[in-house]
Structure 1
Amino acid sequence: MAAKSPQGGSSVQSELRIVILGNAGDDKNKVVKSILNRKNLTGVKVGQCTLHQRDPAGRRISVVEAPGWDRTSKQQSPENIKEEVERSVSLCPPGPHALLLVIGVETLSEEPSTNEITAAQTHMELLSECVWKHTILLFACDEGVEDTQIKKYICSAEKILDKCGGQYYVLQKSAQNHELLKKIDDLVEENGGDFFTPQAELIKLKTQEASGESELRQRRGSIADPPDLNKDKGDSVEKKETTEADKSVEDISKICMEFKKIGLIIVLILMGIVGALIGAVAGAEYGVLGSCIGLVLGIIVGIILASITKCMYTHIYSRSLKKPTDSSVNSG
């Protein structure tokens, strides 16, 4: 539920949840004191994080102070510190309205190195890229720090400022807690009262991973069960063998028919010769002339008989070929 700020500014949440992050040092503790407007803190340890709560003017403010990370490299931070950074946002359920990334501005120090800025960015992104929408870059200054030095720090952190949409705040005195809270409330209002939901981001990440694994399983399945090329090949070979067998039978049938035709011609010739011999022998009783006439008549009779035989054979042979064809048609 939102209400009007006492300063007459933007509307504020009846409950405000904040997570403080940064490298190792006392700067984060200074920020917590400023937000809660207390010199002495009595937080509750949860792992290596510390949970602070206060209810000023009926408004509950929860602040989680995460353990500091290595100043120059994410790789040099112990794994348990990385895990605590990831867990810190779950200690103020359902999620923090704002995350304050603290960079300490010390009196005698120069602007932060590129490694320090990169380390801060990579540690923040342990929480996902969406964290920048809820992040304010906070420069916690020592007493007596000059404005020129603060400007150098702001310029050095340009890369992170681009990530969090230019949201930053310079904390120089602990008495600035009203101004800092107003800066946080402005960010919450800009986000429409929304807060960072680590569980939703985790679900989204797991969904993407599951989708990727499902797609990978489908690809593996297609590789593991390729088309049965051997089966197609077997069908092709079988079809080819059947065709060749049919062709061989057809060739044999043609050869048999040719032999039968030749045999029929030989039979005709033999019958003609036999008829001629019979005619010649029968006409020999009448002399040479009778023998010649008998030879001619024998040839003619032999040819006639051979023709009759050929017709009968052709008719019978044709019927024997036609019957299987007819039966096959009727069965179809």
Structure 2
Amino acid sequence: MASERSPNVYGGPPPQSDLRLVLLGRVGAGKSTVAKTILGRDNFRSEGGMCVKKQGEVAGRTVTVVDTPGWDTVKRTSTHIKKEIKNSVTLCPPGPNALLLVVPMGELLSSTDRKAIQYHVELLSVRAWKFTMVLFVSEAEEKCTSIEQNQLIDRAKSLLVKCGDRHHLLECGNSPSQIPELLKKIDAMVAENCEEFFIPQVYYELMETTMPREVTELRRMYEDREDRLKQKFKRELKEKEEELKKYKEEKPKEGLMKRTSSSQLLPPSMSTEKQDRSVMADNRNVDLQAVKQGYREETLSVVGHYVKPLIMIMTAVVGALMGAVAGAQHGTLGACIGIPIGIIMAVLVSYAVRGAATAARDIPITVKFEENESHRREEGADFFFDSPKSKGFDKDQ
């Protein structure tokens, strides 16, 4: 197992932090092809059932790739292969930044395949999923449609859930411009893990045995608290999203600007309150008009009661004077006869004029009052004015 170094084949900025990768996958998954594509070299060869480590300059940084021997089913994997998989993470000390699980694009991923993947990844410990990314690979000449890609992602859903839905599609042998995008996703995963790297299980157990008991308990408490906080934040985020969704569903479909009247431009509560106030104001105006109409009719009734006799007397006097003047031409007897005739004619004319005036006045008043009464009954006014004298004038008064 040799360690080699190649020149920077992609160019780029000055060397940054080193990157350490371990490739995992079944037999024939294409791990060696992925290593060649990442490092940009063709002399990357696997060595049977042994791990192979290579280094190279990629995008201005040193990248170490460890290729592991492929596994078969859980029952058929030899003890030697299991041991090599466990030791692979110790070949790039202090530990790999990422574990790339290589899955061919044409893989059916049956339940047996998924169980074999989970078993062999967890040979490194359950903590390995935190640093794992699924790498779907295909040859450059084997173009996969988006539908086929979505189907493969759906079949690998259980694996993606374990590794935080981190995955990448890589066409091996194609333009090297894909590699910076892959490295960018790996850097994002490293940042998500707070710049931590995967500590091999053997070192992890060694630290647990050599660390003081207080430090070990403190570290466990910190990890438990971190898990609780993550669960709490996820739960609160889910609740906020549900509240926002519920608010959007309950929000009226018609916007406020589609309302036709000025009162409807207000929020629903203010608009309803203003409409109630408007109805109350209209009812008060109608009631006030009815009261004024009643007072007007009462006043006209009183005036008619006292003024009508005075008008009759004055009319009789004027008729008597006119009759006396007209009969004076025929002497004293003619003046005497003219007085009663003038009174009778004046009274008759007065009655005729008063009847016509009363009829002309009663028609609009009655019609207007009936309209106001009907309007108030339709609006359901709380206060309703109803006076016996509002039905019209009593002609006998």
Residues 105-155 of structure 1 show CA distances to partners (whole Å, capped at 9, x for unaligned) of 13xx6x321110111011000000100111001111232222222211111
Q: 1:310 corresponds to which residue?
A: none
**CA–CA distance in 2 between the matches of 1:91 and 1:181?**
20
Taking the aligned partners of 2:162 and 2:191, their CA distance within structure 1 comes to 19
Cα distance between partner residues in 2 of 1:38 and 1:177:
13
Residue 78 to residue 52, structure 1, CA distance change in 2 (3 Å): same
Do 1:42 and 1:52's aligned partners in 2 also have CA atoms closer than 8 Å? Answer: no
Pair 1:54–1:133, CA change in 2 (3 A): same
Q: For the residues of structure 2 that align with 1:182 and 1:58, how far apart are their CA atoms?
A: 13
Q: Which residue of 2 aligns with 1:157?
A: 156
Query: What are the equivalent positions in structure 2 for 1:214-225 lying under 5 Å apart?
Result: none
Tell me if structure 2 keeps the 8 A contact 1:16–1:61: yes
Q: Which has the higher contact order (CA 8 A, sep 6+)?
A: 1
Match for residue 88 of structure 2?
Answer: 88
Does 1:139 find its partner at 2:142? no
Contact conserved, 1:36 with 1:177, CA < 8 A, in 2? no
Amino acid corresponding to residue 184 of structure 2 in structure 1: K
1:118 corresponds to: 115
Choose which of 8, 21, 26 in structure 1 pairs with 2:24: 21
Partner in structure 2 of residue 32 of structure 1: 35
The offset of 1:83, in angstroms, is 0.6
The amino acid that maps onto 1:181 is L
Structure number having the greater strand percentage: 1
State the SS of the aligned residue for 1:172. strand
Q: Which runs of 5+ in 1 are unaligned?
A: 1-5, 208-332
SS of 1:87 mapped into structure 2: helix
Alignment of 1:184-199 (within 5 A): 184-198=186-200, 199=202
CA distance in 1, matches of 2:134, 2:58: 25
Aligned positions, number: 196
Percent identity between the two aligned chains: 41
Q: In 2 relative to 1, CA 204–119 (structure 1 residues): closer, same or farther, beyond 3 Å?
A: farther
**Structure 1 letter corresponding to 2:131:** H
The amino acid across from 1:84 in the alignment is E
Cα deviation 1:228-269 (Å, max 9, x = unaligned): xxxxxxxxxxxxxxxxxxxxxxxxxxxxxxxxxxxxxxxxxx
CA contact (8 A) 1:37 1:177 kept: no
1:48–1:84 Cα contact (<8 Å) kept? yes
Alignment of 1:222-261 (within 5 A): none
Rounded Cα–Cα distance in structure 2 between residues aligned with 1:139 and 1:99: 13
C-alpha distance in 2, partners of 1:205/1:74?
Answer: 29
SS at match of 1:201: helix
Aligned partner of 2:61 in structure 1 is 59
Alignment match, 1:315 = none
Q: Which runs of 5+ in 2 are unaligned?
A: 1-10, 211-397
Q: Which runs of 4+ in 1 moved over 6 A?
A: 204-207
CA drift of 1:58 comes to 4.8
> 1:68, 1:47 → 2: CA distance?
8
